[in-house]
A and B are shown apart, each in its own frame.
Chain A
Amino acid sequence: MTSDVDVHKYGTPLPLLEFDEVVPTKKPVYAQDQIATDDQGRRRFHGAFTGGFSAGYWNTVGSKEGWTPQSFKSSRSEKASGRVTQRPEDFMDDEDLGEFGIAPKGLQIQEDYTGPETSKEQRKRKFLQCDLKAIPGEPVLQQLLRPVKDKVSVRILKSWGWRPGQGFGPRQTRKEKKKARERNKKELYLLEKYGCDLPTNSKTANDTDDDDDDQDDGDDDSEEDDITFAPEDFEPIPYGLKEDRYGLGYKPLSRHSVLGGSNQSSSSVAAHKEHINLFKPLEMMGKNNQKISFAGQAFGVGALEEDDDEDVYATDDLTRYDFSLEDKKKPKKSKKALTPDELIFEDFHIDLKPDKPLEYKLEIPFGWQPRNWYEKRSRFEPLDPRTQRQLEKKFAKPQDTNADEGEMTRERRAELLGEEIKRKEEETKGNFVPPSVVKPSIAELQRQQKERQQKTQDLMEKISAKSSNFTRGGIITIEGEEKAAPPLTAEEISSAFKPFANDNAKQKRYEQFLAANLQNDHEIDDFLENIQPIELSLWDRQMEKKEFVQAKKIYRPLKGIMSDRFVTESQVKAEQKVAEIEKDPSKPIVVERSKMMWKPHSLLCKRYNIAEPFGGLMEDEKKKTKNKSKMSVFDYLETSVNKKEDFQTPVIIPKNVEKPQELVKQQTSDSANVTEEKEEGTVNLEWQDVLQGKTKATEEKSSFVFKPKTDLEKQVVESMDKPITEKKELFKSIFSDSESDGEEEDNSKPGQQPTDILNPLSKPLNAAAANLLRNNSPPRGIFKALFNVPVNNTTESTKSEEEKPQLKLNEVVEKQNDIEMKEPAKETPKQIETTKILFQPKSSREPKENSNSTFTSSLPSANTTELYGPSLPSNLKANDNTKTSASSSTSAAAIDAKLLELFNKHKPSARLTEVWVEKSSKRNSSDSDDDSSSSDTSSSSDDDDVKHKKRSKKSKKKKSSEHKHKKHKEHHKSSKKSKKSDKKKKKKHKKK
């Protein structure tokens, strides 16, 4: 029976039950009642197998506070150091790192772990032969340099089952092992002891060993011998060369003094002087006068010797020594070793006549090349010849047996396509001569191109015509006839595609057949019969014939058609270049110069140290954009016309003045009076828009002399005048005392109204050109009343017409004056020559106003054609004629002087206006008078004409009122001036 001691316990034993204890009834816990808990006993209800895959804090993130993201901070001064390293463990819970977690942190044995000796220090065997070397100990280099991998031999051993720490040799039983150990120990002992010392304690040591062994033996007795062990690893005994004649392992004391120097025994003087020299053989005189000398290290035992237990007086046991070379233990061992008989099973017996010893002869396969498979090898290295051959075989095409047919080179392709080998020539030439020189002439190329086109065209026709029998396989020539292929030359045949390349004989026959170029079926038969070998059957012959005929048709070197269809790349390129070069001379580049206004930013000017052009009064693009960005209801009203870009100031084509390069005009757009705006508010703005639009529309249609042709135009003209009349009506209705009273009131109080309303008309008129979007239909609803023209107002309107030209003129002139207005007005019109910008004194318009006011009515004269735009009223013309045509400068100057006075009266201050840039490049610098007048006339003539017609239609009434109206208008002008000046002030303020 085995005792308890022998039993290995595994696990914790159940507590012993007392007999009297009542065994608790065990209720089985059902699966649904089981609770999964984690290490802390917290309940975890998922993760079936390992007792809970706990997720964070109660199945939420991280901790009670939640999951806090890692902060990342990096500033310009303090850069974050590298990348934040995050490991998966950062996101795991403690349980995950436990034994059963997803990332256990416990220690684990590596796969190839075999024992403690695998550690690097132990991997190399220690050698004992330290004393054989000059420097004792393990060589330093070997300590330093350790191979990464095991040696191949070690790997092989390992693969055989060897583990480090084991010895080599056949497996041993316990006894064998023990004996081997003993023996080894003895050897070691001998080595260590007798290498330098007398064996003193060998016996005792042996005895102790024996005791152990005896014990072991006692244990072993029970065991059987069939348990074998790996032999122990013994240190190999190093053997040194024997250089002296001492006994084995005996090492005498060195004769040399420890302290150095020469201490020779022969010198007696020295000997006397010396004390007892320990290192000399101690000489004593024996009883019989014998000289006894002791020498060697073994002399005496020092008090300081470590080995106190050593039996100093023990005699060396000679049994330790082998007296002969025969091995005593050998018979024992051989007995232990299994005899062959023992190894054989019952039914087997040893073959007593063994065959002749096996000759191991490896048959190395042909072409085998040794290779170290541990050596990595690039796949781009050349393959070893055998595999290469195999690969070649594998991928070689059956028809590739003919070497020259195997690879399709570019030249070959070119040959097949019937292409002249131009390329090469071009390549050779191209390096030295510019390509343009090499190219064929343009005419030639064109001719070729034409020919080719012609050919292909013809061919296409013929192909389509012959599509029914196209499969016959003949060659359709350019002539369209399917004629028999011309005989091939020998060279062609050889170069042609070889359809029977896999059968050389057949191919040869085929070539012969081709060379013979037989047309007749019978001839072919005869011919083939001659060349075909006899062993071919009749059927084969027939087949071959068919094949040959087919092949001949199919495989022909590409000539003719194909060469026509394909063009070499070089040719194409050459053509392109020719075309390019051709293009160039035909179109000599002419630089077109155009100029426009450009406003440099004030800061830019400052930085460039340049005064701003025009004192910084140029139109600013930014403002424009800013204005645009604001959305207002009126954006819809001013469609395309009111944008400044769309305005086109009238272009003057004067007769006597040469055309200037550029025309830059600065005009005001401030037609609306401030007061008016205040009174009428937004409605007034609308009005202006409408009026502008109408006038523009009409102006567009009129060429020079305005004649309203359509009803619409008339309506438009009427509608223009309505505001005034309407106002009057309004006032009448308010202050309805009498007609005259009403008119008086008109004159006195809202005196400037009519002109105010007309002001918009005096804007540059051809700006209206585009305003066709405006609704020109007759007014309806509320507006109908507004637009209704009372009959009695016609005269008034005529007057206003007459005055309008002046007003417009004023406007234009004013605009041109704007810049100059800042400075006090000068008598003579000022002109800047270089910049070609018009500056005209305000006075220039005054005389005309005055003079114009005196004229009652007029008709457009014939000489209006001189001027651009609608004609002036004749009276104005007359005035102009008298003034300008005779001596424009002098008379104008005189008038100017007068007007200046007038002007100065009314002019409180200069004013700022917006700048208008004319898009068209033409500009009139010299004739400011003409300019202004023409613009005047344009508007005035419109009105005039309309009014004339009206007048003719309607009876002329209210002459008095007309008169009054004139007065009123004059009055208004003065007031307007003042207003304008006000405005200027305001604008200035704004700008500032």
Chain B
Amino acid sequence: MAKFEDFKYVRTIDCRQGAVRAVRYNVDGIYCLTCGSDKKIKLWNHKTGLLLKTYGGHADEVTDARSSCESSNIVSASLDKSIIYWDVSTGAPVRRLRGHAGGVKCVCFNEDSSIAISGGRDNAVFCWDIRTRRLEPVQMMREAKDCITSVLSNENKIITSSLDGCIRHYDIRAGELTVDKVGVPITYLCMTRDEQCLVAACQDSVVRLLDCESGGILSEYRGHAADDYQVECGIMSNDAHIISGSSNGSAYVWDLLEGKVLQNLEISE
């Protein structure tokens, strides 16, 4: 069990992007991407606070962005119903993929960044082949009954969470869809390193640890407030601590096993 060291404040980066919708590290964590409500994505060196590049081309707020495994491309989702595949160095949009009937809320790459998976407000999850110039999605998954809040993918699964309270595992290898109905709208989903568990931020101000195999709830983490915000959660790389945002502007860190709050990070008012 890794010993928990309190998070310390290091730096504030003023993005000047209006509301920042998402912040994502790249693969090796050297850079980070911020998605602003000013329709732009900014690439930062978070260690120095240096703005490296701004990617503009979306027509509405950018909701999510991910960088590819070799950090040469970015895929971003926006409320303008499109996702854009960017070239990092030139800053030019390589491909703009339209297909969602509503704003796109989340996007991710598969492991080798050959497929982009996006989920949107139109309750659909689309898989886009970005290796080819095809502009239609490779696959559409329309099982969800409500807005898709996050998508994940590992080497053989696509996992989506939706506001209809379900987590859907699309197992490509087995060709089956497993629906775990939690019953509470899920605002964010992330996976543990060992891919055994899912951490789901629920609308009822509880972060739940779910078992991938059985679908059962392993643990619940309380103390923060989700309210009506789309609060994200995460798990530390050592799989020992869970962190989640809170609507009161702070972040909470829990111990994964014991479920007690280890730290309350006051981030903003």
Given the interface pairs A591-B210, A604-B115, A607-B115, the reply to whether A597 lies near B181 with Cβ below 8 Å is no
Q: Which of B110, B171, B172, B180 contacts A591 (CB 8 A)?
A: B180
Tell which of B31-39, B144-152, B212-220 binds the partner: B212-220
**Chain B residues near A599 (CB, 8 Å)?**
175
Q: Does B8 have its Cβ within 8 Å of any Cβ on chain A?
A: no
* A594 touching B115, Cβ below 8 Å: no
* B174 touching A835, Cβ below 8 Å: yes
**Cβ distance B146 to chain A, nearest Cβ, rounded Å:** 16
The residues in A between 592 and 616 inclusive whose CB is less than 8 angstroms from any CB of B are 592-601, 603-605, 607-614
Q: How far is the CA of A590 from the CA of B182 in the complex (A)?
A: 7
Q: Does B5 have its Cβ within 8 Å of any Cβ on chain A?
A: no
* B170 touching A598, Cβ below 8 Å: yes
Q: Which of B129, B173, B178 contacts A607 (CB 8 A)?
A: B129
The residues in B between 175 and 227 inclusive whose CB is less than 8 angstroms from any CB of A are 175-184, 204, 208, 210, 214-217
Q: Does A589 have its Cβ within 8 Å of any Cβ on chain B?
A: yes
Q: How far is the CA of A705 from the CA of B155 in the complex (A)?
A: 51
* A603 touching B138, Cβ below 8 Å: yes
**Chain B residues near A611 (CB, 8 Å)?**
173
Contact indicator per residue, chain B 135-147, by CB within 8 Å of chain A (1) or not (0): 0001101000000
* B172 touching A610, Cβ below 8 Å: yes
Q: Does B127 have its Cβ within 8 Å of any Cβ on chain A?
A: yes
Chain A residue nearest to B170 in the complex (CB): A598
* B182 touching A595, Cβ below 8 Å: no
* A594 touching B178, Cβ below 8 Å: yes
Total residues of chain A contacting the partner, CB 8 A: 27
**Chain A residues near B111 (CB, 8 Å)?**
608
**Chain B residues near A604 (CB, 8 Å)?**
115, 127, 138-139, 172
**Chain B residues near A614 (CB, 8 Å)?**
175
* A608 touching B155, Cβ below 8 Å: yes
Q: Does A230 have its Cβ within 8 Å of any Cβ on chain B?
A: no
Chain A residue nearest to B177 in the complex (CB): A598
* B181 touching A594, Cβ below 8 Å: yes
Q: Does B90 have its Cβ within 8 Å of any Cβ on chain A?
A: no
Given the interface pairs A589-B217, A604-B139, A610-B156, the reply to whether A596 lies near B182 with Cβ below 8 Å is no
Q: How far is the CA of A611 from the CA of B115 in the complex (A)?
A: 16
* B175 touching A613, Cβ below 8 Å: yes
**Chain B residues near A637 (CB, 8 Å)?**
none
Q: Which of B127, B129, B175, B215 contacts A593 (CB 8 A)?
A: B215
Q: How far is the CA of A797 from the CA of B127 in the complex (A)?
A: 55
Q: Does B114 have its Cβ within 8 Å of any Cβ on chain A?
A: yes
Contact indicator per residue, chain A 685-701, by CB within 8 Å of chain B (1) or not (0): 00000000000000000
**Cβ distance B266 to chain A, nearest Cβ, rounded Å:** 13
* B172 touching A596, Cβ below 8 Å: no
**Chain B residues near A608 (CB, 8 Å)?**
110-111, 115, 155-156, 172
**Chain B residues near A600 (CB, 8 Å)?**
139, 170, 172, 175
**Cβ distance A606 to chain B, nearest Cβ, rounded Å:** 9
Contact indicator per residue, chain A 821-844, by CB within 8 Å of chain B (1) or not (0): 000000000000001000000000
**Chain A residues near B114 (CB, 8 Å)?**
607
Total residues of chain B contacting the partner, CB 8 A: 35
Q: Does B131 have its Cβ within 8 Å of any Cβ on chain A?
A: yes
* A591 touching B215, Cβ below 8 Å: yes
Q: Does A618 have its Cβ within 8 Å of any Cβ on chain B?
A: yes
**Chain A residues near B172 (CB, 8 Å)?**
600, 604-605, 608, 610, 613
Chain A residue nearest to B222 in the complex (CB): A584
The residues in B between 34 and 85 inclusive whose CB is less than 8 angstroms from any CB of A are none
Q: Which of A591, A592, A597, A601 contacts B127 (CB 8 A)?
A: A601
**Chain A residues near B131 (CB, 8 Å)?**
607
The residues in A between 251 and 278 inclusive whose CB is less than 8 angstroms from any CB of B are none
**Chain B residues near A610 (CB, 8 Å)?**
155-156, 172-173
Given the interface pairs A584-B204, A607-B114, A610-B156, the reply to whether A595 lies near B129 with Cβ below 8 Å is no
Chain A residue nearest to B127 in the complex (CB): A604
* A613 touching B217, Cβ below 8 Å: no
* B181 touching A592, Cβ below 8 Å: yes
**Chain B residues near A596 (CB, 8 Å)?**
176-177, 179
**Cβ distance A218 to chain B, nearest Cβ, rounded Å:** 84
The residues in A between 433 and 476 inclusive whose CB is less than 8 angstroms from any CB of B are none
Q: How far is the CA of A747 from the CA of B215 in the complex (A)?
A: 59
* A593 touching B155, Cβ below 8 Å: no
Q: How far is the CA of A297 from the CA of B172 in the complex (A)?
A: 114
**Chain B residues near A592 (CB, 8 Å)?**
180-181, 183, 215
Chain A residue nearest to B111 in the complex (CB): A608
**Cβ distance B180 to chain A, nearest Cβ, rounded Å:** 5
* A597 touching B175, Cβ below 8 Å: yes
Q: How far is the CA of A524 from the CA of B113 in the complex (A)?
A: 94
Q: How far is the CA of A612 from the CA of B170 in the complex (A)?
A: 13
Q: Which of A594, A601, A612, A835 contacts B139 (CB 8 A)?
A: A601
**Cβ distance A532 to chain B, nearest Cβ, rounded Å:** 61
**Cβ distance B5 to chain A, nearest Cβ, rounded Å:** 26
Q: Which of A589, A590, A598, A607 contacts B176 (CB 8 A)?
A: A598
* B182 touching A589, Cβ below 8 Å: yes
**Cβ distance B212 to chain A, nearest Cβ, rounded Å:** 11
**Cβ distance B155 to chain A, nearest Cβ, rounded Å:** 7
Chain B residue nearest to A597 in the complex (CB): B176
Given the interface pairs A589-B217, A598-B170, the reply to whether A607 lies near B177 with Cβ below 8 Å is no
**Chain B residues near A584 (CB, 8 Å)?**
204
**Chain A residues near B184 (CB, 8 Å)?**
589
Given the interface pairs A589-B217, A608-B155, the reply to whether A595 lies near B175 with Cβ below 8 Å is no
Q: How far is the CA of A394 from the CA of B180 in the complex (A)?
A: 70
Q: Which of A589, A593, A594 contacts B214 (CB 8 A)?
A: A593
Chain A residue nearest to B175 in the complex (CB): A613
Q: How far is the CA of A835 from the CA of B184 in the complex (A)?
A: 30
Q: How far is the CA of A708 from the CA of B174 in the complex (A)?
A: 44
Q: How far is the CA of A287 from the CA of B210 in the complex (A)?
A: 137
**Cβ distance A905 to chain B, nearest Cβ, rounded Å:** 35
Q: How far is the CA of A937 from the CA of B204 in the complex (A)?
A: 52
**Chain A residues near B217 (CB, 8 Å)?**
589-591
**Chain B residues near A591 (CB, 8 Å)?**
180-183, 210, 215-217
**Cβ distance B16 to chain A, nearest Cβ, rounded Å:** 25
Given the interface pairs A607-B110, A607-B138, the reply to whether A593 lies near B174 with Cβ below 8 Å is no
* A589 touching B183, Cβ below 8 Å: yes
**Chain A residues near B181 (CB, 8 Å)?**
591-594
Q: How far is the CA of A613 from the CA of B174 in the complex (A)?
A: 6
Q: How far is the CA of A618 from the CA of B171 in the complex (A)?
A: 14
Q: How far is the CA of A618 from the CA of B170 in the complex (A)?
A: 15
**Cβ distance A574 to chain B, nearest Cβ, rounded Å:** 16
**Cβ distance B99 to chain A, nearest Cβ, rounded Å:** 14
**Cβ distance A670 to chain B, nearest Cβ, rounded Å:** 23
**Chain A residues near B112 (CB, 8 Å)?**
607, 609
Q: Which of B127, B156, B177 contacts A595 (CB 8 A)?
A: B177
Q: How far is the CA of A610 from the CA of B153 in the complex (A)?
A: 14
**Cβ distance A580 to chain B, nearest Cβ, rounded Å:** 8
**Chain B residues near A612 (CB, 8 Å)?**
175
**Chain B residues near A595 (CB, 8 Å)?**
176-179
Q: How far is the CA of A604 from the CA of B153 in the complex (A)?
A: 12
**Cβ distance B132 to chain A, nearest Cβ, rounded Å:** 9
Given the interface pairs A598-B170, A607-B129, the reply to whether A593 lies near B115 with Cβ below 8 Å is no
Residue in B170, B175, B176, B184 whose Cβ sees the most chain A Cβ within 10 Å: B175
Q: How far is the CA of A172 from the CA of B210 in the complex (A)?
A: 107
Q: How far is the CA of A33 from the CA of B242 in the complex (A)?
A: 98
Query: Which residues from chain A sit less than 8 Å from chain B, CB to CB?
Result: 584, 589-601, 603-605, 607-614, 618, 835
Contacts A589-B217, A835-B174 known; 12 new A-B pairs at CB < 8 A = A591-B180, A591-B215, A593-B214, A595-B179, A597-B176, A600-B172, A604-B138, A605-B172, A608-B110, A609-B112, A610-B156, A618-B175
Enumerate 12 A-B pairs (CB-CB under 8 Å) in ascending A order.
A589-B217, A591-B180, A591-B216, A592-B215, A595-B176, A596-B176, A596-B179, A598-B176, A598-B177, A599-B175, A607-B110, A608-B115
Query: Which residues from chain B sit less than 8 Å from chain A, CB to CB?
Result: 110-112, 114-115, 127, 129, 131, 138-139, 141, 155-156, 170-184, 204, 208, 210, 214-217
